[in-house]
Amino acid sequence: MLIRPCTTEDLARLVELTVETFGPFYEESFRPLVGEVVFANQHGRWREDYRAEVPRLHDPGSHRHVAVAELDGVIGGYVAWSVDPAKRNGTISHVAVAAAHRRGGVATLLCEHAFAAMKAQGAEVVEIGTGGDPFHAPARALYERLGCTALPLTVYYREL
C-alpha cells in the first residue's frame, strides 16, 4: 500500500468513495431514524454536498490536507485533516475506505499518517469525531484503538 498526497486527478474517485462509504448511513440509518422532514432539512442533498465539499478538502496553503491509500494502483481509501497552527491542534474530518479494503488496517494506517503529518505541522492535539449509532461503531472502535478519548455528546432533532 502506498499513502500519498491527493492530486487533482484523484478527486472524482474521492467523491465516489465518499458517497459509497457514507450513503448507507444517510439512507439506511439517519433517514429512517429522523423521518423525511428532518432528513430533507439536514441532509437531503448529501450527495451534492459531498460533490461540492470533497474537492475543497485538499488545500495545503490553508493547512488542509488529503492523503490517499493506493492498493494495487487503485485508491482504496483516504483521510482528510486540517491544522490550526496558532492553536497547535489538528482535526481529522474524513476517513473513508472502500468496502473491499475494510478490516485490513487501511484506516489505521491513514489515521496514523495524518497524525504524524499534523505533529510535523506543529499540532499537539487531534480531534476526530464520529456518530454514536451502529453504522459508526467500526469508526469508534478504530479511534479507541488509536488511543483517542471519546467525549459523550448527544444531538437531538425535532420536526417543527
pLDDT band at 157 (very low <50, low <70, confident <90, very high): confident
- pLDDT for the residue numbered 158: 85
pLDDT band at 3 (very low <50, low <70, confident <90, very high): very high
Whether 63 is covered by a domain: the verdict is yes
pTM over 0.85? The answer is yes
3-state secondary structure of 134: helix
CATH number at residue 122: 3.40.630.30
- pLDDT for the residue numbered 33: 93
Range of the domain at 66: 2-145
Alpha helices of the chain — where are they, by DSSP H? 11-24, 31-34, 36-43, 46-53, 106-120, 137-145
pLDDT band at 153 (very low <50, low <70, confident <90, very high): confident
Name the pairing type of β-strands 64-71 and 125-128. Answer: unpaired
Q: How many Å apart are CA 122 and CA 124, to the nearest integer? A: 6
Whether 141 is covered by a domain: the verdict is yes
Whether 156 is covered by a domain: the verdict is no
pLDDT at 69 over 90: yes
Whether 87 is covered by a domain: the verdict is yes
Phi/psi of residue 96, nearest 5 degrees: -140, 135
Whether 101 is covered by a domain: the verdict is yes
- Using only C-alpha atoms, the chain has a radius of gyration, in whole angstroms, of 16
Whether 157 is covered by a domain: the verdict is no
3-state secondary structure of 130: coil
What single-letter amino acid sits at 84? D
Give the number of domains in the chain: 1
pLDDT mean across residues, the chain: 95
**Per-residue pLDDT tens over the stretch 81-116:** 999 999 999 999 999 999 999 999 999 999 999 999
Residue pair 122/85 in contact by the 8 Å Cβ criterion: yes
pLDDT at 152 over 90: no
- pLDDT for the residue numbered 84: 97
Whether 114 is covered by a domain: the verdict is yes
Whether 65 is covered by a domain: the verdict is yes
